[in-house]
């Protein structure tokens, strides 16, 4: 079947639109820092977040003059940095232009990954940056976005460990706090 035949046929293709129910979108309060965690294809929505922020910077549209734009941090993971580092040029460009403050990359199949303290997964990088993450989350009211279907539990556990380490709360209390943040749309997960 060629294109002309297809166009002249009466084939109906059902299409439906669904509203985003997860709340997983760019926050309206641009002063809040954003912690984005997206290994592999999970980074895709964050490219849109970064493009949006870059347009705000370029057009100098801020919510009000007393607020500054919150920092954006991205924890990204891939298997091989040379073969499957998705959006590499774009992400490096966002860092160079000051849109993305921090880009942390975990390469799971790199030589030595997971050995001698070398990070293998994004949650390993999060634990290395635990003090900075804790301050962003607790002192600057950062929002946390996770698009990591296969790593959701590992990322959640890393966040709980960070809370336990730096606030000296019990693990169960840390997990309860994360659940509270999910209900408050401060910790959003697209799983």
pLDDT in tens, 138-176: 999 999 999 988 889 999 999 999 999 999 899 999 999
Tell whether 10 is covered by a domain: no
For residue 24, give the 3-state DSSP assignment: coil
The predicted structure's pLDDT at residue 122: 94
CATH number for the domain harbouring residue 44: 3.40.50.80
Instruction: Write phi, then psi, for 135 (nearest 5 degrees).
Output: -65, -40
Mean pLDDT on 171-185: 97
For the packed helices 171-183 and 152-167, what is the interaxial angle rounded to 10 degrees? 120
Higher-pLDDT residue of 179, 150: 179
Mean pLDDT on 119-148: 95
Domain of residue 181, residue span: 27-189
Tell whether 32 is covered by a domain: yes
Tell whether 37 is covered by a domain: yes
Largest CA-CA distance found in the chain, in angstroms, rounded: 68
Tell whether 159 is covered by a domain: yes
Tell whether 5 is covered by a domain: no
What tokens were used for 30? Answer: 């641009």
Tell whether 14 is covered by a domain: no
Tell whether 6 is covered by a domain: no
* Spatial contact of 38 and 86, defined as CB atoms under 8 Å apart: no
Q: How many domains does the chain have?
A: 1
* pLDDT tens figures, 7-27: 777 777 788 877 766 678 888
| Residues facing residue 2 across a β-bridge | none
Tell whether 55 is covered by a domain: yes
């Amino acid at each position: 079947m060629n294109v002309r035949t297809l166009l002249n046929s009466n084939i109906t293709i059902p299409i439906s639109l669904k509203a985003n129910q997860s709340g997983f979108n760019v926050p309206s309060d641009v002063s809040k820092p954003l912690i984005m965690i997206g290994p592999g294809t999970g980074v895709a929505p964050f490219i849109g977040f970064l493009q949006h922020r870059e347009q705000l910077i370029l057009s100098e549209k801020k919510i009000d003059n007393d607020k500054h734009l919150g920092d954006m941090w991205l924890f990204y993971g891939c298997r091989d940095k040379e073969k499957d580092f998705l959006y590499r040029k774009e992400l490096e460009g966002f860092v160079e232009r000051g849109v993305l403050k921090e880009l942390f990359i975990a390469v799971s199949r790199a030589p030595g990954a997971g050995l001698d303290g070398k990070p293998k997964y994004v949650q390993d990088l999060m634990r290395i940056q635990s003090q900075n993450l804790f301050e962003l989350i607790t002192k600057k009211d950062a929002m946390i976005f996770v698009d990591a279907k296969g790593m959701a539990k590992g990322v959640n556990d890393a966040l709980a460990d960070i809370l336990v380490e730096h606030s000296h709360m019990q693990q169960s209390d840390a997990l309860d706090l994360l659940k509270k943040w999910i209900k408050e749309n401060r910790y959003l997960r697209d799983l």
